[in-house]
Amino acid sequence: MADRVCPQCGAPIDPNATECKFCGEKLAVQQAAAPQVQQVQPQIVIQQVTPQQTNVSGINPAWPLKSKIAAGILGIFLGGLGIHKFYLGQTGMGILYLVFFWTGIPEIVGFIEGIVYLCSNDENFQLKNHVRLG
């Protein structure tokens, strides 16, 4: 089995060949010298992790910055129109609230959601709505 491979196509080549028989790449002729072994000293790298580098909560730093209080107030006062959903970037749900606002159901649901937003802890609010608190 050949110890060398062509740097162009990766095919095995004869140790004495000057060009690859598959792709025609010119090869440098190597002298038949004893292989040199280098001593590699193992290195230990200690990296100090700061709390800013860890992301164990699952909150994506690319999520937009939003206010939990603003979302809660919009839900309580303008929840029937779905404004709190538009604010949080949930456009589809906001349109659904707009379509059914005449029934009164989105007003009740929006009011409840506004209270839930204000009462939930920060991490749950961020994970549920895919936003970061600003």
Residue 73 lies in a domain: yes
Residue 8 lies in a domain: yes
Residue 56 lies in a domain: no
Residue-level pLDDT at 29? 62
Residue 127 lies in a domain: yes
| End-to-end Cα separation, the chain, in angstroms | 63
Residue-level pLDDT at 21? 76
Residue 43 lies in a domain: no
Residue 17 lies in a domain: yes
The number of domains in the chain is 2
Boundaries of domain holding 5: 1-30
Phi, psi of 10, rounded to the nearest 5 degrees? 85, 5
For residue 65, give the H/E element and its range: strand 65-66
For residue 13, give the H/E element and its range: strand 12-13
% of the chain at pLDDT higher than 70: 81
- Whether the pLDDT of residue 78 is over 80: the answer is yes
**Cα–Cα dist 89/110, whole Å:** 15
Residue 97 lies in a domain: yes
**Cα–Cα dist 114/28, whole Å:** 73
Residue 125 lies in a domain: yes
Same domain for 70 and 22: no
**Cα–Cα dist 35/58, whole Å:** 50
Residue-level pLDDT at 114? 97
